A and B are shown apart, each in its own frame.
Chain A
Amino acid sequence: MNLLEARDLEKRYGGVHAVAGVSFSVAAGERVALIGPNGAGKSTCFNLIGGQVRPDAGSVVLDGKPVTGMKPRALFRRGVARTFQITATFASMSVVENVQAAIASHLGESFRPAGSATHAHRDAALALLARVGLDAQSDRHCAQLAYGDSKRLELAMALANAPRLLLMDEPTAGMAPGERHALMDLVTRLTASDGVSVLFTEHDMDIVFAHADRLLVLDRGRLIAQGAPSAVRADPEVQRIYLGGHA
Chain B
Amino acid sequence: MTFADLAPQLVNGLANASTLFLLASGLSLIFGVTRVVNFAHGSLYMLGTYVGISVTEHVSGPLGFWGGIVVAGLAVAVVGVLIETLVLKRIYHAPELFQLLATFAVVLIVKDLALIVWGAEDILGPRAPGLKEAVEIAGSAIPEYDLFLIAMGPVVLGLLHLLLSRTRWGVLVRAATEDREMVGALGVNQAWLFTGVFALGSLLAGLAGALQIPREPASLNLDLIAITDAFVVVVVGGLGSLHGAFVAALVIGIVKALCVALGTVEVAGFGIDFTRLTLVVEFLLMAGTLAVRPFGLFGRPVAVSEPSRSVAAVVAPGKRFHVGFVIGVALLACAPFVVDEYLLVLGTDILVFALFAASLHFLMGPGGMVSFGHAAFFGAGAYVAALLVRQAGWSMLGAIVATPFAAAALGLAVGWFCVRLAGVYLAMLTLAFAQIAWSIAFQWDDVTGGSNGLVGIWPADWASAKRDYYWLTLAFCAPAVWALWHVTHAPFGHALRAGRDAPARAEALGIHVRRTRWFAFPIAAAGAGLAGALFVFSKGSLSPEVMAIARSVDGLVMVLLGGVQTLTGPVAGAALFTWLQDETLRHTEYWRLVLGAVILALVLAFPRGVVGSLSALFPKGGAR
Contacts and interface: CB of A to CB of B under 8 A. Distances in A.
B490 A115 contact: yes
Interface string A45-81: 0000010100000000000000000011100110001
Nearest to B565: A92
B512 interface: yes
A186 to B, nearest CB: 20
A147 interface: no
Contacts of B501: 89-93
A115 B491 CA distance: 7
Interface stretch (A94-102, A213-221, A234-242): A94-102
Contacts of B313: 92-94, 141, 143
A110 B516 contact: yes
Interface residues of B, number: 33
Given A92-B310, A111-B516, A117 B509 contact: no
B508 interface: yes
Interface in B487-505: 487, 489-495, 497-498, 500-502, 504-505
Nearest to B493: A117
A158 to B, nearest CB: 8
A114 B523 CA distance: 13
A104 interface: yes
Contact of A105 (B310, B312, B510, B519): B510
B311 A76 contact: no
A109 interface: yes
A100 B510 contact: no
B265 interface: no
Contact of B491 (A50, A71, A81, A110): A110
Given A92-B312, A109-B491, A113-B523, A73 B497 contact: no
Given A76-B510, A88-B502, A160-B509, A93 B314 contact: yes
A49 B196 CA distance: 48
Nearest to A143: B311
A64 B516 CA distance: 31
B482 to A, nearest CB: 12
A157 B509 contact: yes
B316 interface: yes
Nearest to B500: A92
B312 A111 contact: no
Interface string B525-539: 000000000000000
A164 to B, nearest CB: 14
Interface residues of A, number: 41
A82 interface: yes
Contacts, number: 122
A230 B489 CA distance: 52
Contact of B509 (A52, A101, A109): A101
A46 B110 CA distance: 54
A190 to B, nearest CB: 17
A111 B511 CA distance: 9
B300 interface: no
A118 B316 contact: yes
Given A50-B508, A73-B508, A76-B509, A110 B502 contact: no
Interface string B385-421: 0000000000000000000000000000000000000
A117 B37 CA distance: 35
Contacts of A73: 507-512
Interface string B466-503: 00000000000000000000110111111101101110
Interface string A131-158: 0000000000101000000000010010
Nearest to B496: A110
A210 B150 CA distance: 72
Nearest to B365: A92
Given A73-B508, A93-B501, A120 B311 contact: no
B316 A117 contact: yes
Contacts of B314: 92-93
A92 B566 CA distance: 11
Given A73-B511, A90-B497, A92-B313, A113 B502 contact: no
Nearest to A144: B313
B494 A97 contact: yes
Contacts of A117: 316, 489-491, 493-494
A93 B519 CA distance: 21
B311 A116 contact: no
A203 interface: no
B46 to A, nearest CB: 39
Contacts of A76: 508-510
Contact of B502 (A89, A116, A160): A89
A101 B494 contact: yes
A209 interface: no
Nearest to A50: B508
Contacts of A72: 504, 507-508
A145 B182 CA distance: 29
Contacts of A82: 508
A211 interface: no
A106 B502 contact: no
B495 A110 contact: yes
Contacts of A141: 313
Given A92-B314, A105-B495, A111 B505 contact: no
Given A104-B495, A115-B490, A141-B313, A90 B502 contact: yes
B150 to A, nearest CB: 40
A44 interface: no
A85 B312 CA distance: 23
Contacts of A120: 491
A116 B490 contact: yes
25 contacts: A71-B507, A73-B511, A84-B504, A88-B502, A88-B504, A90-B501, A90-B502, A90-B506, A91-B311, A92-B311, A93-B313, A93-B314, A93-B494, A97-B494, A100-B494, A104-B495, A105-B495, A111-B515, A113-B487, A113-B493, A116-B490, A118-B316, A118-B489, A141-B313, A157-B509
Interface of B: 310-314, 316, 486-487, 489-495, 497-498, 500-502, 504-512, 515-516, 519, 523
Given A71-B507, A111-B516, 13 more contacts: A76-B508, A81-B509, A84-B504, A101-B491, A105-B506, A110-B512, A111-B495, A111-B519, A112-B491, A113-B486, A113-B487, A113-B492, A120-B491
**List of 4 A-B pairs having minimum Cβ-Cβ separation, nearest first:** A76-B510, A110-B495, A88-B505, A88-B502
